[in-house]
């Protein structure tokens, strides 16, 4: 064979190999555009002479990639592509972030006829149960029910899992410092490395889970959860966590001093909830949870009395108040065909309303959120949705929620997949 023909043969084989590999790769693209307006207010921590508002436009494009034993989620996030504030000096400049949310390898091996699943890389590990709060999401912060664009990142993970007739045993090592996005001081100082074991079991209609974990920040954590189906309409879920050490903002004994981030001992979180759903499409979730790491009512009363800016650090805790109640309602878009008055209104079959109320029973604070979602297009391979979201932070004037700087926020989101 002539040399140039031989080279042509090699090139053709290389191109064929690349084409075969490319055909094995899978891509799922998601995008979101969000226009947001935020009305701010005067609080005891931030006196204002004029009402202040901010407007911004943000975007997100992310891709989920699968290739053989590898999986990745990569996001391109555009922050403040347009930004305007009633105070001109607070206008923000546009910036872009390329965020690797997940990048991991997973496979299976047999050791002495014992099948094991392996996972290695940056992974989102969500063991929590619950809607408003999930105590067992213990590795990286997981922001529940955001109204705008949010990119959730995984932690560095190495895990081995074994499946039996009832469920799963897992041995896991994690490093939460793998996150790229900058968090609050509390989140940055809480980054941990640790190792733990988890048991998950399904017995009849009930799921059980327990976790034992040790890391260099909490120095010991025990957690458990249960989810059970009571009948065709009702479900119960609950979880609890104890940790030996934790970081918290502590109020000084002398008011002229600032709040400081300190390591404390013995923290408890617990959640119980009920879910009810009917055949028409209504779904209701009611939850109560307690978090001892948050400031108590007396501590918030003291913070609102002293009212120096450093006391705003109490808002950076995972839960702002210790006692929380959540009410959630949503209606499936298929429900509109069940009623006589709405079954002939065709556009309602693409409309999904959702409503949440977070209530603080100790000080009567309220955060109310609504989502109105309309499906513009869905071909199976691609979809486009339009969503109007609104969040109102209110309650008694001396409640923690009513002293957040944001009074309300309105968002128009357009998102889709292709």
What is the count of structural domains for the chain?
1
The three-state secondary structure class of 182 is coil
**DSSP states along 317-331:** SSSSBSEEEEEEEEE
Q: Which of 13-17, 57-61, 170-174, 269-273 has the lowest mean pLDDT?
A: 13-17
Average pLDDT of 248-252?
A: 94
Task: Compute the distance between CA of residue 185 and CA of residue 258 in angstroms, rounded to an integer.
Answer: 15
Q: What is the pLDDT of residue 255?
A: 78
Q: What is the mean pLDDT of residues 117-140?
A: 95
pLDDT band at 277 (very low <50, low <70, confident <90, very high): very high
Q: Are the C-beta atoms of 106 and 118 separated by less than 8 Å?
A: yes
In a domain, 10, yes or no: no
pLDDT at 2: 45
Angle at 166 between CA 163 and CA 171, to 5 degrees: 40
How far apart CA 56 and CA 34 sit, in angstroms, is: 8
Residue 49 pLDDT class (50, 70, 90 cuts): low
CA distances from 104 to 18, 122, 233 (A): 22, 6, 38
Expressed in angstroms, the distance from the first to the final Cα of the chain is: 46
Question: Which residue has better confidence, 359 or 10?
Answer: 359
Statement: residue 78 has pLDDT above 70: yes
pLDDT bracket for residue 97 (50, 70, 90): very high
Q: Which residues of 182-196 are buried (b: 16+ CB within 10 A; e: fewer)?
A: eeeebbeebbbebeb
Note the maximum CA span of the chain: 90
User: Is residue 379 in some structural domain?
Assistant: yes
pLDDT on residue 9: 45
In a domain, 12, yes or no: no
Give the C-alpha separation, 328 to 370, whole Å.
10
Q: Is the pLDDT of residue 12 over 50?
A: no
In this predicted structure, the answer to whether residue 8 has a pLDDT above a threshold of 80 is no
pTM of the model: 0.91
Q: Is the pLDDT of residue 19 over 70?
A: no
- Residue written as token pair 């001093």: 257
Residue 10 has pLDDT above 60, yes or no: no
Q: Which domain holds residue 128?
A: 26-417
Cα gap 403→396, rounded to integer Å:
9
Q: Does 50 score more than 70 pLDDT?
A: no
pLDDT digits (tens, 9 = 90+) for 200-226: 999 999 999 999 999 999 999 999 999
At residue 90 the predicted structure's pLDDT band, cuts being 50, 70 and 90, is: low
Residue 9 lies in a domain: no
Instruction: Evaluate if residue 300 carries a pLDDT over 90.
Output: yes
Residue 8 located in a structural domain? no
Residue ranges of alpha helices (H) inside 190-334 are 297-306
User: Region 398-418: what's the mean pLDDT?
Assistant: 96
Q: Is the pLDDT of residue 17 over 80?
A: no
> The domain that contains 140 carries what CATH number?
2.40.160
In a domain, 7, yes or no: no
Neighbouring-strand partners of residue 368: 357, 392
Q: Are 365 and 359 in contact, with CB atoms under 8 Å apart?
A: yes
The whole-number average pLDDT for the span 289-304 is 96
CA atoms within 13 A on the CB side of 339: 15
Contact present, 138 and 223 (Cβ < 8 Å): yes
pLDDT band with cut points at 50, 70 and 90 for residue 317: very high
Mean pLDDT of the chain: 91
């Amino acid at each position: 064979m002539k040399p140039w023909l031989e080279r042509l043969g090699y090139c053709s084989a290389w191109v064929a190999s690349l084409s075969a590999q490319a055909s094995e790769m899978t891509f799922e693209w998601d995008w979101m555009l969000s226009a947001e307006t935020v009305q701010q207010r005067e609080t005891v921590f931030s006196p204002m002479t004029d009402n202040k508002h901010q407007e911004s436009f943000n975007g997100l494009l992310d891709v989920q990639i699968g290739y053989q034993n590898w999986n990745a989620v990569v996001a391109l996030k555009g922050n403040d592509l347009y930004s305007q504030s009633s105070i001109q000096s607070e206008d923000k400049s546009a910036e872009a972030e390329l965020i690797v949310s997940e990048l991991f390898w997973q496979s299976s091996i047999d050791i002495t006829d014992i099948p094991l699943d392996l996972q290695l890389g940056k992974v989102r590990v969500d063991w929590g149960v619950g809607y408003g709060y999930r105590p067992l999401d213990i590795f990286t912060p997981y922001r529940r029910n955001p109204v705008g664009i949010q990119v959730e990142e995984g932690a560095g993970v190495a895990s081995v899992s074994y499946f039996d007739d009832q469920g799963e045993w897992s041995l896991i090592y994690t490093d939460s410092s793998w996150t790229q996005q900058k968090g609050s001081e509390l989140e940055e100082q809480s980054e941990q490395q640790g190792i733990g074991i988890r048991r998950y079991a399904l017995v009849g209609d009930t799921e059980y889970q327990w976790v034992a974990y040790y890391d260099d920040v909490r120095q010991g954590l025990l957690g458990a959860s249960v989810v059970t189906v009571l009948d065709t309409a009702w479900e119960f879920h609950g979880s609890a966590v104890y940790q030996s050490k934790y970081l918290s903002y502590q109020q000084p004994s002398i008011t002229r001093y600032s709040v400081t981030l300190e390591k404390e001992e013995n923290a408890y979180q617990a959640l119980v909830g009920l879910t009810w759903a009917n055949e028409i499409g209504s779904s209701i979730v009611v939850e109560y949870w307690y978090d001892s790491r948050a400031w108590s009512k007396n501590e918030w009363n003291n913070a609102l009395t002293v009212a120096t800016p450093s006391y705003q650090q109490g808002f950076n805790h995972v839960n702002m108040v210790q006692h929380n109640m959540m009410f959630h309602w949503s209606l499936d878009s298929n429900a509109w065909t069940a009623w006589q008055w709405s079954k002939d209104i065709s556009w309602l079959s693409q409309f999904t309303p959702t409503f949440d109320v977070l209530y603080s029973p100790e000080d009567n604070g309220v955060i109310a959120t609504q989502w109105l979602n309309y499906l513009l297009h869905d071909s199976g391979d691609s979809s486009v949705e339009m969503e109007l979201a609104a969040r109102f932070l209110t309650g008694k004037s001396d409640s923690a929620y009513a002293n957040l700087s944001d009074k309300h926020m309105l968002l128009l989101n357009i998102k889709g997949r292709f």
